[in-house]
Amino acid sequence: MRVCVDTTILLDILKDEFRSFQDKLYDALARKENLVAPPVVFAELMPQFKENTKLLGKFLEEHKIAIEPLGVDSAIAAAQAWMRYLKRKTKVKCPQCGRKLNLKEHFLSDFYIGGFASTKCSAILTRDRGIYTKYFPALVGYKNCLKASSR
User: What would the pLDDT profile of 112-150 be if each residue is shown by its tens digit?
Assistant: 999 999 999 999 999 988 889 999 999 999 999 888 754
- Residue ranges per structural domain of the chain: 2-150
Give the chain as a 3 state SS string. Answer: CEEEECHHHHHHHHHCCCHHHHHHHHHHHHCCCEEEECHHHHHHHHHHHCCCHHHHHHHHHHCCEEECCCCHHHHHHHHHHHHHHHHHCCEEECCCCCCEEECCCCCHHHHHHHHHHHHHCCEEECCCHHHHHHHCCCCCEHHHCCCHHHC
27-60 pLDDT tens trace: 999 999 999 999 999 999 999 999 899 999 999 9
Looking at residue 22, its pLDDT comes to 96
Looking at residue 47, its pLDDT comes to 96
Looking at residue 151, its pLDDT comes to 43
Residue 139's identity, in one-letter code, is L
- Report which of 129, 119, 14 is spatially closest to residue 60, judged by C-alpha positions: 14
Looking at residue 97, its pLDDT comes to 75
Cβ-based burial of 149 (10 A; exposed 0-12, middle 13-18, buried ≥19): exposed
86 vs 117, residue with greater confidence = 117
Homologous superfamily (CATH) for 2-150: 5'-nuclease (3.40.50.1010)
Looking at residue 103, its pLDDT comes to 55
Does 104 score more than 60 pLDDT? Answer: no
% of the chain residues with pLDDT over 70: 87
